């Protein structure tokens, strides 16, 4: 399959039709290149808060409601585009008020046949928990699709190996991200590449890029798209299948072969996924040695 991952910039929107046209252009471009799976970044849906005006878009709490209130329309749009262009889409994540508690950070995945589900972020960054008060959501899921088994680790989640290990049966792990600084981008990228190494799978990182002075939450964003695998047989020696240009909006593409993933898991030069349990607490002990 061909995978497309986005370095996505937010726009100020004056109408819903403007948003529809933008998403249609992005999806049409990737589908036109033969992409069967499209990955948008974390918090990319926050641009729809601008439809409620500057006061709501610029306020942390009011921006949550502004986005959440429009999510049904956002979902209908993505479902239509997935069907129209015959592609799977991981939509940009959004602040969603899903119940009586605090909002969650949720990314929805759409299938060309109309199927739809979502993945919530598991572990919040300091900004999300201390300032914005975004809550952890539902459990990790493994999506069984015609393209293979797909998992999602939203941004910070990719930096935790046990979350990645829970998705050990995933052929692809999608990593939508939103990082302010270059250091944040590299933390997530290192996490994504580490999960590809440990699980001997392909990880797909999408990034929010650009500055938005109308927002307190996504005012500055650094990153690019990247697609990674284990540096082993059938993959590049760097593990990098493709990477975009830092902070340049657009798609990054790579061809992914499920047979190559199966082959490296069965007969790679190393077998990280198979040998994982040899490092469990019961199997590892530390002896203190004084020098």
Percent of the chain with pLDDT over 90: 95
pLDDT at 65 over 80: yes
Instruction: List strand residue ranges (DSSP E) for 147-249, in order.
Output: 148-152, 172-177, 202-211, 220-221, 226-228, 240-243
pLDDT score for 193: 98
- Binned at pLDDT 50, 70 and 90, residue 114 comes out as very high
pLDDT at 291 over 90: no
pLDDT at 22 over 90: yes
pLDDT at 41 over 80: yes
pLDDT score for 287: 84
Instruction: List strand residue ranges (DSSP E) for 60-194, in order.
Output: 88-90, 94-96, 104-110, 116-120, 143-145, 148-152, 172-177
pLDDT score for 281: 75
Per the DSSP assignment, residues forming a β-bridge with 151 are 173
Region 133-146: mean pLDDT is: 97
Q: By three-state DSSP, how is residue 205 classified?
A: strand
What angle, rounded to 10 degrees, do the helices at 16-32 and 71-84 form? 30
Q: What is the pLDDT of residues 76-86, one digit of tens each?
A: 999 999 999 99
Cα 129–Cα 72–Cα 158 angle in degrees, nearest 5: 40
Domain spanning 2-278: CATH 3.60.110.10: yes
pLDDT at 205 over 90: yes
Q: What is the pLDDT of residues 215-241, one digit of tens each?
A: 999 999 999 999 999 999 999 999 999
pLDDT score for 284: 79
pLDDT score for 20: 98
Q: How many CB atoms lie within 10 A of CB 188?
A: 26
Region 129-143: mean pLDDT is: 96
Q: Mean pLDDT across the chain, nearest whole number?
A: 97
Q: What is the pLDDT of residues 231-286, one digit of tens each?
A: 999 999 999 999 999 999 999 999 999 999 999 999 999 999 999 999 987 777 78
pTM over 0.85: yes
Region 152-159: mean pLDDT is: 98
């Amino acid at each position: 399959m061909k995978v497309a991952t986005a370095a996505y910039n937010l726009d100020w929107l004056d109408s819903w039709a403007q948003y529809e046209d933008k998403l249609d252009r992005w999806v049409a471009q990737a589908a036109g290149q033969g992409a069967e799976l499209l990955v948008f970044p974390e918090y990319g849906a926050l641009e729809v808060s601008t439809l409620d005006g500057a006061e709501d878009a610029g306020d942390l709490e009011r921006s949550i409601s502004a986005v959440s209130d429009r999510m049904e329309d956002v979902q209908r749009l993505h479902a239509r585009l997935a069907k129209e262009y015959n592609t799977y889409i991981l939509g940009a994540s959004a602040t969603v008020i899903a119940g009586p508690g605090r909002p969650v950070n949720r990314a929805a995945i759409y299938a060309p046949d109309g199927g739809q589900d979502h993945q919530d972020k598991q572990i919040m960054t300091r900004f999300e928990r201390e300032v914005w008060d975004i809550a952890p959501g539902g459990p990790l899921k493994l999506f069984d699709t015609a393209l293979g088994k797909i998992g999602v680790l939203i941004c910070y989640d990719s930096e935790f190996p046990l979350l990645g290990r829970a998705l050990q049966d995933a052929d692809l792990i999608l990593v939508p991200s939103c990082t302010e600084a270059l250091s944040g981008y590299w933390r997530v990228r290192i996490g994504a590449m580490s999960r590809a190494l440990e699980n001997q799978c392909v990880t797909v990182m999408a990034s929010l890029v650009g500055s938005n002075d109308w927002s307190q939450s996504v005012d500055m964003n650094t990153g690019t798209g990247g697609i990674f695998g284990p540096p082993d047989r059938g993959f590049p020696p760097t593990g990098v299948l493709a990477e975009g240009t830092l902070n340049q909006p657009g798609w990054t593409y790579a061809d992914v072969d499920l047979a190559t993933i199966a082959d490296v898991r069965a007969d790679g030069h190393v077998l990280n996924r198979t040998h994982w349990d040899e490092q469990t607490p019961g199997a590892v002990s530390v002896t203190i040695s004084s020098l």
